[in-house]
Amino acid sequence: MNRILHIVVAAGSGRRFGAELPKQFHLIGERPALMLAVDAMRRFGCGGTVVTVLNPDYIGYWTEVCVSAGFDPGPIVAGGSTRWESVKNAVDAYGADADIITVHDGARPLVGRCVVEAVVAAVASGAKGAVPVVALSDSIRHVGADGSSKAVDRAAYVAVQTPQGFSGMEFRQAYGMPYSPAFTDDASVMEAAGYDVSLVEGSPINIKVTNPSDIAIAELLLRQCND
């Protein structure tokens, strides 16, 4: 049987969200976004341990929120100043013997069963990495260094979501390599280490809370999911 580690990264400060309380702690309906994200990985993640990565300044706060909601926070790891460092800290602390490691944004509270299971199944079937993607619905332009822009073929691009899943051995090796500012997600870390990543179907509902208006959108989507 595969040993699975799910890492939920939630150590960001939410600069674009712009509130004093980081976005992952804001309520979506009745529960904080992070609680929904952790709960989804527990329910849909095919077993395994769910570890949450937090800024050390918020570990006490989050533990209190969980206790008063009767929610088990599970293992918590201190994050770093980049998403890459936050993931690395969790891999170093809990990933030594995991066959499959997934990483999910604590700011994606609405991830559903189909997406999580598709990611885990792809890795369990031999993919070194699997990422959920969705088609783009806006037109896309390439912007040059001089500010000029040119339309590009949007069919050649997809938008990437989380959770992203990986074979444990290769993931540990990839996260043993030096940091690059080009790493925007875990698939880019794996690719830099020479591994191919497979695509699975994501979901338009699996949005990342990034700007304040995303809270209202997430609440509407959550209500729709529960109807």
Ligand X SMILES: C[C@](O)(CO)[C@H](O)COP(=O)(O)O
Ligand Y SMILES: Nc1ccn([C@@H]2O[C@H](COP(=O)(O)OP(=O)(O)OP(=O)(O)O)[C@@H](O)[C@H]2O)c(=O)n1
- Please state the φ and ψ torsions of residue 69, each to the nearest 5 degrees: -95, 0
Whether residue 39 contacts residue 46, with contact meaning beta carbons closer than 8 Å, is answered with no
- State in angstroms the smallest separation of the CB of 11 from ligand X: 11
What does the angle CA 10 – CA 11 – CA 17 come to, to the nearest 5 degrees?
80
d(CA 132, CA 134): 7
d(CA 176, CA 170): 10
| Measured CA distances, 97 to 81, 94, 160, 208 (Å) | 25, 8, 27, 30
> Which one among 6, 26, 88, 208 touches ligand Y, defined by CB under 6 A?
208
Helix (H, G, I), strand (E, B) or coil at 100: strand
When the beta carbons of 94 and 214 are compared against ligand X, the nearer one is: 214
Q: Considering the rule CB under 6 A, would residue 53 count as an interface residue with ligand Y? A: yes
- Maximum distance among all Cα pairs of the chain, rounded to whole angstroms: 54
d(CA 95, CA 76): 13
> Which one among 6, 26, 83, 104 touches ligand X, defined by CB under 6 A?
83
Q: Considering the rule CB under 6 A, would residue 15 count as an interface residue with ligand Y? A: yes
When the beta carbons of 89 and 162 are compared against ligand X, the nearer one is: 162
- State in angstroms the smallest separation of the CB of 84 from ligand X: 10
Residue 80 contact partner, candidates ligand X, ligand Y, none, CB within 5 to 8 A by sort of partner: ligand Y
Q: Considering the rule CB under 6 A, would residue 159 count as an interface residue with ligand Y? A: no
Q: Considering the rule CB under 6 A, would residue 13 count as an interface residue with ligand Y? A: yes
- State in angstroms the smallest separation of the CB of 42 from ligand Y: 17
Q: Considering the rule CB under 6 A, would residue 80 count as an interface residue with ligand Y? A: yes
Give the pair of three-digit tokens for residue 140: 């896309």
> Which one among 4, 6, 12, 167 touches ligand Y, defined by CB under 6 A?
12
* Residues at the site binding ligand Y, with contacts judged by CB under 6 A: 9-17, 22, 24, 53, 79-83, 86, 105-107, 208, 210
* Residues at the site binding ligand X, with contacts judged by CB under 6 A: 83, 105, 160-162, 184-185, 208
